[in-house]
Chains A and B, each alone.
Chain A
């Protein structure tokens, strides 16, 4: 051993000092590996459960897939047996599930009875309109709901609070299809002096040319379905945000901050709201997960060519492979978004980190 120095070990300097002012909200430390592993494992288990459910649910449904395919075509029992063998339907259930799982993990969701094309392709085709509509509505309703919820909680008991929560609750309890139809009657076909301002349905007018014209056309088609969705779902952000902010408002650290001389607005913005945001983030992510499944009612009413309409059409046939594929995609999206929310918590809240 060399006797280099007998100095005491230097005080460890913090790696990064918080900078003054802004940009000090998120400190992305390394997530604890065990936490990540647990959450990913949990999500995987949920996904397997979804696949099992989908598999057996569609097994016990009445209807023989082979008969459905050969519907209207004269076939001999030998031919049916041959088809069953070809589809692997004569294997034991466990083996069938194995094949099915491998197939799904390869992205093969089967062939639609109705469209005679791949289910995965159909879903991909209808995915973007849904994300466009429901994604926009989710962002808008979250922004509106958070704002209203924060104002309501901060001035709780005031007239503004009562009106805001009342309106949000009333809209929340209104049937979506009824509100959608009402909007169509008033703003699309026009009533009395109100002219028909917006198209009644669809995503675009065929034959529109030019970038700006196409953009305006798309936005005009978006307004009514989006408005319907926002009106119906923003209440959950209002109520979640309001409740969790009210929980935080009794906290001593707000008093401490006020006593240090912080302005009321800043007490709300810097202390109360960030701490109250977690439950709302959960709601937000669950809703983002459900963006994919779209809104069957709104898409059907406004003839929006999204996954919701696709699901509705598949139900009427019934197109079992398509339904099964949509079932898996919808559930998978929710599981994935919950996983993301779980992974985001430690970033947002240091208490979860340890």
Chain B
């Protein structure tokens, strides 16, 4: 197998902001490595405030990294206006709320054609004119016949249609990768499936990569090839979706999964869903050692002490995971001991009700 170059990767990426109140610095993204390969959908999972949206914005060039690099086809992104413009043609954004991400005063045609107008006629590719290209993008996003939508306004469309328009606006530039921030969170359940199917279809037919940012592990299961779990600015566990969602190793991933009714973890572990306690993570005050230790059930239950790693959890930094495809986890409990049977439940692969689109893949 030839060595594949990631379409988009974060290399030791750091982003920080001045803290909102008082002094200090919020480390929203704190040394993240993440690769997205061609034709691959990666889900970035984490609770709100963990820095996943900041990471996505930085990957799009909307925030400038405080350290590290964003690599595009292996080349560092240049933060000049010309460099960014070329980069943005290849990396497109789909936001959560399609009503908000479309200008209410612009017709569907204008919304989709905007990218073409920004990037000039080289963006047209083989198409004779703008209109044909717009029609093609709308059709690819599942709005057919495209001409019928040209002069409609966003408020005349349904939520699902709007999200399709947003996706068409991204597709019209023939990007290599979509960065989608909670792409279906604001849509009805029936429409979610359609949009997910659309993204999967685009991957299968056109090799389009995607980085899907979500708080929803069920969505990750349905759509992703690979999952990266983020906690307080750092990736804590990453690997193929089947591995992460059926045999999670990091206590944080396990806690996230245990509250999903179909995960199987709550019954198999016999302990019921793990509810995380402790104060919400604060990126201005990142704990020493493992950044999850103040809320970690392994530490709280005394199992860490029993395993004689509690001092490490509280004081010793964990290695930064690299962005590649193999399963990795940043946890002292997982790394140090092979014999911690109570940390791993027997993997019970239970795809759950929402997994249908994935299995229907052609």
Contacts and interface: CB of A to CB of B under 8 A. Distances in A.
Contacts, number: 89
Interface string B39-83: 000000000000000000000111000000000000000000100
Tell me which of B62, B105, B151 has the highest count of chain A C-beta atoms within 10 A of its own C-beta.
B105
8 contacts: A18-B113, A252-B96, A253-B100, A256-B169, A258-B62, A259-B62, A260-B93, A350-B155
B103 A253 contact: yes
Interface of B: 60-62, 81, 84-85, 88-89, 92-93, 95-97, 100-105, 107, 109-110, 113-115, 117-119, 130-131, 145, 147-148, 150-151, 153, 155-156, 166, 169, 173
Contacts of B155: 350-351, 354
A182 interface: no
Contacts of B153: 350-351
A170 B213 CA distance: 47
Interface stretch (A6-14, A75-83, A134-142, A207-215): A6-14
B150 A20 contact: no
B81 A253 contact: no
Contacts of A251: 100
Given A24-B110, A255-B95, 8 more contacts: A18-B109, A18-B150, A18-B151, A20-B130, A253-B101, A259-B92, A275-B105, A350-B104
B240 to A, nearest CB: 29
A212 to B, nearest CB: 45
What 5 A-B pairs come out closest when comparing CB atoms?
Answer: A252-B100, A259-B93, A261-B88, A252-B101, A350-B153
B187 to A, nearest CB: 15
A18 B113 CA distance: 10
Tell me which of A15, A256, A275 has the highest count of chain B C-beta atoms within 10 A of its own C-beta.
A256
A253 B102 contact: yes
A304 B173 CA distance: 60
B147 to A, nearest CB: 6
A350 B147 contact: no
B88 A12 contact: no
Given A20-B130, A354-B155, A260 B62 contact: no
A261 B119 contact: yes
Nearest to A257: B114
A349 interface: yes
B147 A11 contact: yes
B130 A262 contact: no
Contacts of A16: 151
A263 interface: yes
Given A274-B105, A275-B103, A350-B104, A21 B117 contact: yes
Tell me which of A12, A257, A271 has the highest count of chain B C-beta atoms within 10 A of its own C-beta.
A257
Interface in A302-354: 349-351, 354
